[in-house]
Amino acid sequence: MITKDTLRVVKKDNSIESFDSQKIIAAVNKAAYRCDKTIDEDHLTQIADEVHNRLLARKSVTVAELHELVIAVLAFLQYKDVADAYAEYRYYKQTYAKTFEQLRQDADDVLRLGDRENANFDSSLVSTKGSLIKGFLTKSLYKQFYLSGKEKELIERGDIYIHDLRDMILGCFNCCLFDIGNVLKGGFEMSNVQYTEPKTVLSALQVIGDVTLVATAQQFGGFTLAELDKVLLPYVLKSEKAATEKYMSMGIEESKAAEYAGKDVVRELEQGFQSLELKLNTVPCSRGDFAFTTITFGQWNVDDFDDREKAWLYNIGKIMLAVRRQGHGKDGKPVVFPKLVFLYDAKQIEADPFSKGLFDEAVRTSSQCMYPDYLSLSSEYGSVSEIFQKYGAITSPMGCRAFLSLWRNEEGKAITIGRCNIGAVSLNLPIILRLTQLEHPDNWKQAFWTVLDERLEVIRCFLRKRYDIVRHQKCSSNPLCFTQGGLYEGTKNPDDTVGDMVRYMTASFGITAFDEFTFLWTGKRLVDEGGEISAQVLRHLKEKLAQFKKEDGYLYAIYGTPAESLCATQAKQYNAFCEDRGIDNVFAHTEHYSKEYFTNSFHVNVTENITPFEKQDHEFQDFHLCEGGHIQYVRLDNPENQDAVRAMIERGMKRGFYQGVNFDSAYCGDCGEHSTNVLFKCPKCGSSNLSVISRVCGYLGYSNVNGMSRMNDGKMAEIQNRVSM
């Protein structure tokens, strides 16, 4: 009699191994998951035993024969859905031709037309084209083989949107607050090369640029160098000391030597920040996009630094801002990276003249360049201010608007720098609501909450998978984060798994199109209805996520989705849904709305004719209910009025905002003229050869480069309609 110990399995390469029932069980389990079924352990064992029993008369079986037998046994034991899912995976070659044809079409479109999904991609570059084509393949593979049936159904119709689907198969994380200070200290290893700790601030900034390009290629979201001024301070002091000693060795008296050294350090900072800006705006990382880098700065505890150190912290920020204002090249062409964020502590600014002076410089820069944005640390509102005031920890933004949830280590210390987010899944609220109205016409308001909870459960299950995948990743997959200290506890061996480091990572449940959702629910726009239903939805999400956190032990967060390309994608999905159901798309012919795009997250409609202060007030409530991802921005018609810019920023800081200002900054490629709030024609020479920087959603990007758009049609339509944003 053949037993499990003596039965041999002949693999595709003709190697032989013993029959292993656990492999049958694992494969069946995966097939069951893909069709949203659960098979308990006893029945899984029954399936594996039945497969083995049918092989009792044989000494060996090929892998191909074994697959066919598993499918037959599943059908015999009345698991038809699972058998079909198993067969779909097994017979992927039958669908390969159709999938490959779509991939070929996508590749041709990129090669001929480029891609405008993300303003950070310059799809005219060969390297970027290659990255985009690879992304189509990995996205297709992930959808085909790794999503459950329910997940595929919902993303195809549009109920949910899994962000960065092209990167899911790689098992990397999303965005992070990279601990650059920890990596630099004592030296580190990168790409099998040992780097010594920088000895000057110029070399520190040059190394930071290199690290940023390498590290951002191992993730798929925003990369924040948090509180960079304090990180650079020790290297500034090293440069100053070395320069002073150099001049004194030349026989120059100490006071003069210190004066000359100070000028040298200022020049090092200027060169370092110029080099960093050029690198981040001209050299794509190996992913094909420009590294979405954020620098936060401007906060220091006044009592922790002497006057000399505070003067240098002021100068670090001042020089970084001056470099941004100057732009690059002979005509000072502006750039968009890195994103700059000023950390606003009202008490510090009031008590410290260096801090006040730096805030003045920041306002001046915002009035010309839109950056920096401002993060309130001293308000009575908001979790960021609360965490700072209670624990002394600053929660810098990751990318355009993502924020980490509060997490404390075993000693009770709040940890922010060195943490990350593993991904986001967003709801298409208009589709979910309209579907509920059609399927439950008599009680759709009650039924909506049940349908919403079903979608939240699907997202929850997907994010739990993400945590599990990241947990089992080898640390060698992202050595700067997991082995060189870029993330908290990230000094593991390359062959170790990420493991319990996932306990401090967040995952996001995103919301979009509250304005359209409100119109479908009430017949009024968000600005007219007052935000009652949007707040109700957000409070419901907050309650559900608290339940999920308690049950799963993960840091789930509500995310006001920026919707750069998604604003058009979800509008198209809604239009297709209406066509499929034979119903009217009211947004195609209703004033203030468009079938080309949906409104970004919780924001009021961009066409609203309201003042900046009114926009702040309308968005206040929902902003603070989306603690895992939010930004508040207003459009300025007269950004040259610095007093008005300051007043708007200070008001936003009192209300606990992560605050930005918006206008369109245009540079003419023909005459070199800089102008604001001009979209298509140079006011000086009339040329359309413009490079225009606009606020994409929470960050700045090129809406036009030399007259050619970098953004999708939906986002460009939204930009043209902007009044209050």
pLDDT digits (tens, 9 = 90+) for 477-518: 999 999 999 999 999 999 999 999 999 999 999 999 999 999
Same domain, 615 and 561: yes
Same domain, 214 and 363: yes
- Whether residue 58 contacts residue 2, with contact meaning beta carbons closer than 8 Å, is answered with yes
Mean pLDDT over 349-365 rounds to 98
Dist CA 242 CA 72 (whole Å): 77
- Is 649 inside any structural domain? no
Same domain, 435 and 350: no
pLDDT at 714: 85
Q: Could you tell me the pLDDT band of residue 2, with boundaries at 50, 70 and 90? A: very low
Same domain, 230 and 156: no
Structure token digits, residue 389 = 């005031």
Is the C-alpha dihedral spanning 364, 370, 372, 375 positive or negative?
A: positive
Residues with Cβ within 8 Å of residue 711, at least 6 apart in sequence: 116, 119, 564, 696, 701, 703, 719
Please give the DSSP secondary-structure letter assigned to residue 408.
B
Same domain, 99 and 73: no
Query: Which residue, 45, 60, 90, sits at the end of a domain?
Result: 90
pLDDT of 162 > 80? The answer is yes
Same domain, 503 and 447: yes
Same domain, 76 and 99: no
Range in 101-105, 392-396, 571-575, 665-669 the model is least confident about: 101-105
Mean pLDDT over 228-249 rounds to 97
Q: Could you tell me the pLDDT band of residue 120, with boundaries at 50, 70 and 90? A: low
Same domain, 453 and 582: yes
pLDDT at 298: 98
- Whether residue 220 contacts residue 164, with contact meaning beta carbons closer than 8 Å, is answered with yes
Dist CA 34 CA 187 (whole Å): 46
Mean pLDDT over 162-190 rounds to 95
Q: Percent of the chain scored above 90 by pLDDT?
A: 68
Q: Could you tell me the pLDDT band of residue 110, with boundaries at 50, 70 and 90? A: low
pLDDT at 80: 87
Q: How many residues does the chain have?
A: 725
Same domain, 231 and 344: yes
- Is 384 inside any structural domain? no
Q: Percent of the chain scored above 70 by pLDDT?
A: 92
Same domain, 133 and 231: no
Which single residue is written with the structure tokens 């759709």?
Answer: 444
- Is 659 inside any structural domain? no
pLDDT at 176: 98
pLDDT at 81: 85
pLDDT of 114 > 70? The answer is no
CA neighbor of 339 nearest in space, from 703, 711, 699, 705:
699
pLDDT of 102 > 80? The answer is no
- Considering 56-65, 145-154, 335-344, the range whose residues carry the highest mean pLDDT is 335-344
* Angle, vertex CA 14, rays to CA 8 and CA 16, nearest 5: 30
CA neighbor of 383 nearest in space, from 660, 699, 657:
657
- Considering 11-15, 200-204, 220-224, 672-676, the range whose residues carry the highest mean pLDDT is 200-204
Q: Give the domain CATH number at 439.
A: 3.20.70.20
Residue 398 CB burial class (10 angstroms; 0-12, 13-18, ≥19): buried
- Is 654 inside any structural domain? no
- Is 124 inside any structural domain? yes
Dist CA 480 CA 478 (whole Å): 6
Whole domain around residue 332: which residue ranges?
A: 176-378
CA neighbor of 43 nearest in space, from 81, 17, 73:
73
- Whether residue 689 contacts residue 668, with contact meaning beta carbons closer than 8 Å, is answered with yes
pLDDT at 91: 64
pLDDT of 720 > 90? The answer is no
pLDDT at 1: 42
For helices 307-326 and 228-249, what crossing angle results, to 10°?
A: 110
pLDDT at 94: 53
Across 531-554, b (16+ Cβ under 10 Å) vs e yields: bebbbebbeebbebbeebeeeeeb
Tell me the per-residue pLDDT of 26-64, one tens digit each, with 9 for 90 and over: 889 888 887 778 899 999 999 999 988 888 888 888 988
Structure token digits, residue 280 = 């981040």
Cis geometry, peptide bond prior to residue 494 (ω within 30 degrees of 0): no
- Whether residue 608 contacts residue 634, with contact meaning beta carbons closer than 8 Å, is answered with no
Mean pLDDT over 326-348 rounds to 93
Structure token digits, residue 335 = 């750039």
Cis geometry, peptide bond prior to residue 284 (ω within 30 degrees of 0): no
Same domain, 193 and 225: yes
pLDDT of 5 > 80? The answer is no
Q: Taking all residues of the chain, what is their mean pLDDT, rounded to a whole number?
A: 91
pLDDT at 334: 87
Looking at the structure of the chain, the number of domains it has is 5
pLDDT of 217 > 50? The answer is yes
Dist CA 503 CA 471 (whole Å): 9
- Is 412 inside any structural domain? no
Dist CA 672 CA 689 (whole Å): 10
Residues with Cβ within 8 Å of residue 15, at least 6 apart in sequence: none
Question: What H or E segment, with its residue span, contains residue 223?
Answer: strand 223-225
pLDDT at 185: 98
Same domain, 533 and 681: no
- Is 410 inside any structural domain? no
pLDDT at 666: 85
- Is 197 inside any structural domain? yes
Dist CA 77 CA 46 (whole Å): 9
Structure token digits, residue 163 = 């962000």
Across 163-187, b (16+ Cβ under 10 Å) vs e yields: bbbbbbbebbbbbbbbbbbbbbeee
